[in-house]
Amino acid sequence: MPCLNLLRKKKKKEEEILSQENGSSLLEELIASTGGKYNPIRMFSSHQIVTATNNFDWNYMSSVDRFVWYKGMIDNRRVLIKAYKEKQYGPDNFFRDIAVSSLMSGNKNVLKLLGCCLEFSTPVLVYEYPENGALTFTGHARESAKPLPWNVRLKIAKEIADAVTYLHTEFPKTIIHRDLKLGNVFLDENWTAKLSCFSLSISIPEGESGVYDIVCGTTSYIEPNYLRTGLVTENVDIYSLGIIMLILLTGKSRAPLVDGYSVLLLDYVQKILERGPFTELIDPSMLNGTSDNIPDQLRQQMEAFTELALKCIKFQTRRKCALTS
């Protein structure tokens, strides 16, 4: 029994030290990201997190990326809990995610951060629970769900654009998400899009149009100029939004096959637009086998959507795609 008490005291002391060290780093990031004007952040205990995830039981896991999402309950409320894979990120990324998530939590199209726990070696984040899960592949949220209809996909694209516009324009410094992709979008019970995961975000200094940094993100969504030069501008997010729009339209989140060969999604889209018919581009799961009889109004809407997506992808620096179009 004395040994057990000693171990408990030692563990408690370690948690206090981690909480103090992580708290200091978080405060620095909050001040740097928000100019000192940030929302209060609720602190959860390690006991609450361990209980909610059943000691990080894989059976409670929701999805895995550069971090692991767990489903859980805290204070009789369903929550989504994010635990980082330590080797995938540096401390700056952990605290930037908390800071920017807190800053953005008032936006209806951002996954609301409820708080975090600083008593582990890397912070653990607690979010509102999105009933319809992550949009990890086009047309679906939960694996058992039916493909999403066109009007919902159109709504999702608009809501992602709204969240990105808010991120780019509402703060003293423009913030670039830098990892826009379907897997970082969640859907609530009303199929409202909720953008998340700001760990790779970066601020552009006031008066500047861009900043150089290491290239990071998800390969198929990375803007070519950023990939070549490391220059981060608003265009980085606009390009990724265009790719998301094409995936929502085509239902192809992986490299499509053309004549038996894997090609880039953009090349696939251009090839079909050149040879026709346009209906070949559209995810057949939305059409119920009636691709030849799409109402004119719906077809025009899809064509305009495609044109806007291509503008986002092919824009020049001074001719940016209008995110709110």
DSSP assignment of 244-292 equals HHHHHHH---SPPEETTEE--HHHHHHHHHHH--GGGGS-GGGTTT-GG
Percent of the chain with pLDDT over 70: 74
pLDDT tens per residue, range 90-102: 777 888 898 899 8
Catalytic: which of 162, 179, 237, 283? 179
Q: What is the pLDDT of residue 269?
A: 86
List, in sequence order, the alpha helices (H) in 82-205. Answer: 91-104, 150-169
Average pLDDT over residues 9-30: 52
Q: What is the dihedral of CA 265, 321, 186, 57, to 10 degrees?
A: 60
Looking up tokens 């029994």 gives: 1
d(CA 241, CA 134): 17
pTM score = 0.84
- pLDDT number for residue 267: 83
Tens digits of residue pLDDT in 7-16: 454 455 455 5
CATH class of the domain comprising 150-314: mainly alpha
Specify whether 57 is catalytic: no
**Does domain 42-129 bear CATH number 3.30.200.20?**
yes
Residue 62 pLDDT > 80: no
pLDDT at position 48 is 95
| CA 52 to each of CA 14, 73, 88, 124, 184: distance values in angstroms, whole numbers, following the listed order | 21, 5, 24, 12, 22
> Average pLDDT in the 284-299 region?
75
pLDDT of residue 10: 46
Residues 122 and 258: beta-carbon distance below 8 Å: no
Structure tokens of 194? 């909720």
With CA atoms as reference, report the closest residue to 16 among 39, 37, 45, 36.
45
Segment 96-142, tens digit of pLDDT = 898 899 889 889 999 999 999 988 888 899 999 999 998 875 444 55
Residue-level pLDDT at 317: 42
Picking from 34-48, 153-167, 181-195, which range would have the lowest pLDDT averaged per residue?
A: 34-48
Averaged pLDDT, 44-54 = 93
Q: Where are the domains of the chain?
A: 42-129, 150-314
* pLDDT for res 181: 92
